[in-house]
Amino acid sequence: MKNSTQTNFQKTVHAVVASIPKGSVATYGQVAELAGRPGAARAVGSVMSHNQDTKATPCHRVVGSTGALSGYAYGDGITTKKKLLVKEGVQFRGEKVDLKTSQWHPKVSR
């Protein structure tokens, strides 16, 4: 088995990002931790940048630890990313996501 073109890490990250509920956002560090590699926030970002399945992996729901939107290889980049989040119900604080109201809580999960 395992004819996947991707590594286990990538698949895990994709699964975690795909499990983020609409209207909420998670930080790279959080995704990394949920993926089983705490501290690998950078690696998560690398995976996302190489990710090409926006419909399967809503990378726009992943933001920086401060709620800052960084990177988005589609649309107009940050502009499209912000627009998508706002449309889904995520609250914004200027050009950053309001983590105090829209950060995802895996354990609580509403």
Partner DNA sequence: AGATTGACCGTGT
Partner DNA sequence: GACACGGCCAATC
Which of 65, 95, 68 is closest to 83 using CA atoms?
A: 95
Q: Token pair 């983020």 is at which residue?
A: 20
For residues 63 to 82, the per-residue mask of contacts with DNA, x marking binding by CB under 7 A and - elsewhere, is -xxx---xxxxx--------
CB of 15 to DNA, least distance (A): 14
Q: If you compute the radius of gyration of the chain from its CA atoms, what whole number of angstroms results?
A: 13
The residue within the footprint of DNA, chosen from 47, 85, 90, 99 (CB under 7 A), is: 47
Q: How far apart are CA 22 and CA 42, in angstroms?
A: 23
Active-site amino acid positions: 59
Q: Which residues bind DNA (CB under 7 A)?
A: 7, 9-10, 27-29, 37, 39-51, 59-60, 62, 64-66, 70-74
